[in-house]
Homo-oligomer: A and B are copies of this chain.
Amino acid sequence: MKFEIKDRDAAGRICKFTTKHGTITTPNLMPVINPNKMIISPKEMKKLFGTEIVITNAYIIKKDDRLKEKALKDGVHKLIDFDGTIMTDSGTFQSYVYGDVGVEPLEIVEFQKKIGSDIGTILDVFGKPDQTFKESEKGMKDTLRRAKQAAEIKEEMILSTPVQGSIYPDLRFKCAEELSKIDGDFYPIGGVVPLMENQRYSDLINVILSSKKGLDPSKPVHLFGAGHPMIFPISVALGCDFFDSSAYIKYANDERLIFTWGTEKLEDITELPCCCPVCSNYSADDLKKMSKKDRTIEIAKHNLYVSFAEIKKIRNAISQGSLWELVEKRANTNPYLLEAFNILKSEENKDWLEQFETISKNKAMFYTGNQTYHRPIVHRIQKRLLERFKKSSNVYIVLPESKKPFSTHYSHEIKQIYQKNNNVNIIVDSSLGPVPIELDEMYPFAQSIFPSFTDEETERKISISFQNFTKNGDVICWSDLSTLDELDPSKEEGFNFDLRRISAVANIQFGSGAGKVLLGGEVKIIKSKKTGKIRNIYCNGKHVLSMRAHDGLFTLKGDGAKLLHNKFKKPLLRVAVNQDAIDFVKEGKSVFAKFVEDCDPELRPLDECLIVDEKDNLLAVGRCILNRREMLSFNYGVAVKTREKL
């Protein structure tokens, strides 16, 4: 099995996942195949929906003599006539529904091996939501024991070991942590079907979060039994990689159509609210008039078209950096899902999510409601402003929100203020909180679109951020020229706004003091002739930084890296690689995760970093793809893209 991160957004990721039957992209959806009754065959699914992986049930195969014989003889791929990756389930869900299933835990693992399953699942103990903590703990421990035993006999099969623990976050976390120590490969989050069936999304989110927090991040996570696209975006944003759908056929049998906002009975629909091939080809009346069998097939196809489109939508959103918007939009369509969102507003969860958040994105952030201000990127920038921004004094001149970039819109006012006193902080009271004018071109301040009225929760949060930032200072609200009278004149010699901007962005991006380190000499600034914006920065004749037009952040140049390496002590900004990687890095090749020895815990995906050897010799400058925990866990894929060897 190979599993590597190719792209990312929120705590979600696009990965390449390789089994004996090929390489597929995640997030992905496995339709459930009933070997007894294939309404749509896996082959047809591949053709119609681009299905790359399916899941079928080893327990059902084993119970049926004919299926069992054929599977043992020809293998499960021939049995269901599919040449892609096949996962098998073990009978756990049947034991939840029907009680004892009469199969031994190791027996069903052996059977899955024998029929050539790519991913085989242990017989875990389904943790029901109404169990007590004690009962859940016992089931969880049994699951762990079975996982350990199965791992010893798995051989070539990718072993799927579900996380259990019912609705108890502590048990889920514990189970996840312990599973990560066992030689399993693939982590379903089990026991969630009853939560989804009862729209208990708050519980579901808590279960996903506590499981993910404990799991080894380098292995695929599967939300077991989740087949409704409504919950795909949020689950991916929290780190799930796989879903499986029996919903498509279960709902079709019941004449229910799946949509991204929920499920609707055909009888309640007058016009099909969808553009999929089925809904473009037939009217609601056409479907109602069909034979039951044909109708079921067409609805099942619709359900899969919609489900796979949501997967594509999610992957596209990850590439664009707009996954949070998709998640928030989906939450706005269902009150219970929206309610669950409150869980993501806690400091603890925001701290956890922030680790995965890239430094900048391809797309501007869009406001969608009071969730937006709680995004990890806003959480980060608010924190960094308090920790890393170097204030000029204790005086704050506040300008109201305006057109962006603020410094262009307010160029006249800024000039007037600095002429009187350039030791003040000029800040804009924006929808993302206080924005020091030096940072106005930096992501996400410039790259965000908010309505002129947001909402009262956001207004309150902005006001709190503002108060925290200006605490114990003199706050002067700019209204007109007379505001200047309130200012004591004070002037720093050689004041230069560009220098202040460069220093401020460097501090936020690389850490307190970075500006001073990088600009400690004779500075020369090259601007774009076309846009007038800062492009390249030289210090004592050496190229230390380039400012990127699209996010207002820096690309760290080799000479800048040397300065930071010299003044910032280990582990700051470092990714340390082991002996085996040194020669590759010196040739300018990227750092693979398996060669990473250690990493600054403050580095985030897409952060600039110093690539060093184990003795802290600077080898190169690069850009992180992974965060620390990921670098230390993954066996495959690039951890750091090397940009400039030194």
Residues of A in contact with B (beta carbons under 8 Å apart): 48-49, 261, 268-277, 279-280, 305-306, 308-309, 312-313, 315-317, 319-320, 325, 328-329, 332-336, 338-339, 342, 362, 366-370, 449-453, 455-457, 460
Give the copy number. 2
Which of A320, A325, A456 lies at the interface centre, i.e. has the most chain B CB atoms within 10 A of its CB?
A456
Nearest Cβ in chain B — how far from A473, in angstroms?
A: 27
Interface pair A275/B273, CB less than 8 Å apart:
no
- Give the residues in chain B near A271, CB-CB below 8 Å: 312-313, 315-316, 319
Query: In the bound complex, do residue B316 and residue A269 qualify as a contact, i.e. CB atoms below 8 Å apart?
Result: yes
Which are the 5 A-B pairs with shortest beta-carbon distances?
Answer: A275-B309, A339-B451, A273-B313, A456-B456, A270-B319
Q: Contact at B453–A342, with CB atoms within 8 Å?
A: yes
- A268, A270, A328 — most chain B CB neighbours (10 Å): A270
Residue of B at shortest CB range from A259? Answer: B313
Bound state CA distance, A449 and B305, in angstroms?
A: 28
- In the complex the two chains form, what is the Cα distance from A270 to B25 in whole Å? 13
B274 & A317 in contact (Cβ 8 Å cutoff)? no
Asked if B276 and A276 make an inter-chain contact with CB atoms under 8 angstroms apart, the answer reads: yes
B275 contacts A449, C-beta separation under 8 Å:
no
A308 contacts across to B, CB distance below 8 A: 275
**In the complex, how many angstroms separate the beta carbon of A540 from the nearest chain B beta carbon?**
40
Pair B339/A270 contact, Cβ less than 8 Å:
no
Q: Within the assembled complex, what's the spacing in Å between the Cα atoms of A334 and B369? A: 10
The minimal Cβ–Cβ distance linking A289 to chain B, given in whole angstroms, is 17
List B contacts of A332 (CB < 8 A). 328-329, 332, 368-369
On chain B, the residues within 8 Å of A317 by CB distance are 273
Q: Is the CB of B339 within 8 A of A333?
A: no
Separation of A279 and B457 alpha carbons in the complex (Å):
39
Q: Which residue of B lies closest to A362 (CB)?
A: B268
Q: Report whether B336 and A451 are in contact in the complex, using a CB–CB cutoff of 8 Å.
A: yes
A449 touches B335 (CB 8 A): yes
The answer to whether B275 touches A368 (Cβ under 8 A) is: no
- Chain B residues positioned under 8 Å from A306 (CB to CB): 275
Between A271, A277, A317, A368, the greatest number of chain B beta carbons within 10 A of the residue's beta carbon is seen for A271
